[in-house]
Amino acid sequence: MPNIQIKKELIEKYFKRVNHLVIETSEICNLSCLYCGQGKNYVKTDSHKKKKHMDWHTVKPLLDYYISLWHSGTIGLKRFFMLSFYGGEPLLNFELIDNVHQYIERNKPADFLVYYSITTNGMLLDRYIEYFVHHNYTIAVSLDGDKISNSFRVDKSGTESFDTLYHILINIKERYPDFFDRKVSFQSVLNSRSNLIDVYAFFKEMFNKEPLLLEMSKSRLSLKSDIYAMYRGIDEDLEISWKTRKEECVKFSLKNLDTSYLDFYIKTYTPHFILRYPDFFQEFDNVTIKLPTATCLPFSDRVFLTVGGLILPCEKVGCVSPLGYVINGEIDIDFQKIVDFYNEIFNKYQKLCETCIRTMSCTNCFYDINYLAKKNICPDYVPNSQKDKYIQRALEILRRTPEIFKKIINSID
């Protein structure tokens, strides 16, 4: 197989066409959650940070860049743009949120839609909720479940945050029931003090919602990290739940592992799965080529701007390899350098991925794998020699529950 050569024009195109900008509004937080990615369990990576809050001079050049593109009528642009505020705790720098919002609304083309969202721990939400309701923000609140499930989320003095946050949320729900229903969602990190069923039950009962479940990141762990003591994997918990609490799994429509496995099987072993329309055209080889790992191409989904002015592909990858900078009011991105970096890593992983049977259903980002195993060893690598085992398992599932296949093709066929 030839070497992978992503072209810089493609990445440049992605940077122009992207429709999601995430701004790290503040790098500090009013909580000290024990598993926090910016806490003692993780290696700090943003050596460029000298500030605590995002300042206007750092964010403005990027806003101006996209606003001018919106006015240019460039063909690649989507019809809308998403602007997200992220932290630390973004509400500690509310002034910037408001400044960005006002600036965008004043300068964007009249018919261009911009959606705003914020990810927050919610502890200051009561102070600003009117603003967010008025401007129709989407709010993602980090809450791990009931008091016990949420007990790793503590303030600076070590006091659990649950009671305060719960009170704030109930209050918002009562004051703005429609907004709460439509625009407030929850993100829950599964941990050793929580489990899927209890978390689902809590959110269903208290807020009539389903949370977005997340796992603690296993990348950038520091040497003395306690993360493994607090860690709980979603798939492992799901498997246990289906064995021990099946009725509740059905009640909350939890993902069935058999269905997920068959989904993987069909993607991997059959020619039946179609990802997108261009897959039918060989001439689209630069689009449909399966790149090693499951790493997104930079800016194909979003752009993340840190307090320190680093431009990153997303908020999850750490700051070790910034793709660009905003410095002295200028955007500084070397697209050639970016593709050289990605091509080098993709080519390193190519051989490994080529011989892995999970390549089509891979979910690993190379930023994560790199941190985990510097020798390009993937934690989820399954060699071709185990293919028969995987096929047998799929066939067993189909024999046992033939309706699953129909469900898969009916729900999508």
Contacting positions for another protein (CB under 8 A): 9, 13, 16-17, 73-79, 266, 270-278, 280-281, 283-284, 286-287, 395-396, 398-399, 402-403, 405-406, 408-409, 412-413
Q: Which is nearer to another protein, 221 or 391 (CB)?
A: 391
| Half-sphere exposure of residue 93: CA atoms within 13 angstroms, side-chain side | 27
Q: Which is nearer to another protein, 228 or 281 (CB)?
A: 281
| Distance of closest approach, residue 360 Cβ to another protein, in angstroms | 12
Q: Which is nearer to another protein, 365 or 398 (CB)?
A: 398
Q: Which amino acid is at 231?
A: Y
Calpha distance 57→72 (Å, rounded): 23
| Distance of closest approach, residue 116 Cβ to another protein, in angstroms | 18
Six token digits for residue 144: 């791990």
Q: Which is nearer to another protein, 196 or 333 (CB)?
A: 333
Placement of tokens 């709980």 in the chain = 232
Calpha distance 203→194 (Å, rounded): 13
Query: Do 183 and 120 meet the contact criterion of CB atoms below 8 Å apart?
Result: no
In residues, how long is the chain?
Answer: 413
| Distance of closest approach, residue 240 Cβ to another protein, in angstroms | 27
Q: Which is nearer to another protein, 245 or 393 (CB)?
A: 393
Query: Do 143 and 184 meet the contact criterion of CB atoms below 8 Å apart?
Result: no
| Distance of closest approach, residue 141 Cβ to another protein, in angstroms | 23
Six token digits for residue 345: 């890593």
Query: Do 303 and 11 meet the contact criterion of CB atoms below 8 Å apart?
Result: no
Calpha distance 284→177 (Å, rounded): 48
Q: Which is nearer to another protein, 18 or 59 (CB)?
A: 18
Q: Which amino acid is at 34?
A: L
| Distance of closest approach, residue 195 Cβ to another protein, in angstroms | 29
| Distance of closest approach, residue 284 Cβ to another protein, in angstroms | 7
Q: Which is nearer to another protein, 68 or 159 (CB)?
A: 68
| Distance of closest approach, residue 160 Cβ to another protein, in angstroms | 37
| Distance of closest approach, residue 405 Cβ to another protein, in angstroms | 6
Classify strands 184-189 and 212-214 as parallel, antiparallel or unpaired: parallel
| Distance of closest approach, residue 16 Cβ to another protein, in angstroms | 6
Long-range CB contacts for residues 92-98, cutoff 8 Å, separation at least 24:
92/25, 92/26, 92/28, 92/29, 92/30, 92/53, 92/124, 93/25, 93/26, 93/53, 93/54, 94/124, 94/128, 96/23, 96/25, 96/26, 96/53, 96/54, 96/55, 96/56, 96/59, 97/25, 98/131
Torsion sign (Cα): 190, 192, 194, 195? positive
Query: Do 117 and 83 meet the contact criterion of CB atoms below 8 Å apart?
Result: yes
Q: Which is nearer to another protein, 5 or 74 (CB)?
A: 74
| Distance of closest approach, residue 121 Cβ to another protein, in angstroms | 28
- Starting at the edge strand found earlier in the chain, the sheet holding 138-142 runs 212-214, 184-189, 138-142, 113-120, 80-86, 20-24, 303-305, 310-312, 324-327, 330-333
**What's the first-to-final CA gap in the chain, in angstroms?**
33
Q: Which is nearer to another protein, 379 or 402 (CB)?
A: 402
User: Nearest 5°: CA angle at 212, between 288 and 243?
Assistant: 95
| Distance of closest approach, residue 113 Cβ to another protein, in angstroms | 11
Q: Which is nearer to another protein, 76 or 233 (CB)?
A: 76
Q: Which is nearer to another protein, 78 or 246 (CB)?
A: 78
